[in-house]
Amino acid sequence: MATISDVLQQQHEGMESAADIMMSLEEMFAMKSRTTKREAVTAFMNLRMKPGQAVKDHMMKVIAHLNIAELHGAEIDGETKIDMVVNSLSDSFDQFKLDYTLNKKEYTLQGLMQDVQSAERSRDSYGW
C-alpha cells in the first residue's frame, strides 16, 4: 500500500491545488468504474440460461450482474431489465417468452422469478 501512495504522490507533485489532485484522482478511478460497469452490462447482456439450469440459479446470477452494473452507475429501467431477463431464458421457456411478449404483463424481478419458476415446475411435471 505504501508503494501505491508513493506512486500517487509522485504523479501529483506538480499540481497546484488540492482540487487539481482530486480531479485527477476522480478521473483515474472513474475509468475503473466505467470499465467495470461496461463489463457488468456486457456480461448481463450476454448471459444465457444453460439447458437444465435451475431458474433460481439463473435469476440469482442475473441479479448479481445487474447489481454490479448499477453499483457502477449503469441506469437500466425496470421494463428493460425484465425484457433482458426474459430473453436470457433457455429455449425450453419459449412458450413463457411468447406469452410474455403477447400479454406484456408488468413484472418485478421477484414476480418474474416466481412465474418462471412456476413455468419450470409445469414443464418438469409434464416433461416438456
The boundaries of the domain holding residue 46 are: 17-126
Residue 1: pLDDT band by 50, 70, 90 thresholds?
Answer: very low
Rounded distance, CA 128 to CA 120, Å?
Answer: 9
- The verdict on residue 76 lying in a domain is yes
71-96 pLDDT, tens digit each:
878 888 999 999 989 999 999 999 99
- The verdict on residue 117 lying in a domain is yes
Rounded distance, CA 107 to CA 1, Å?
Answer: 46
- The verdict on residue 10 lying in a domain is no
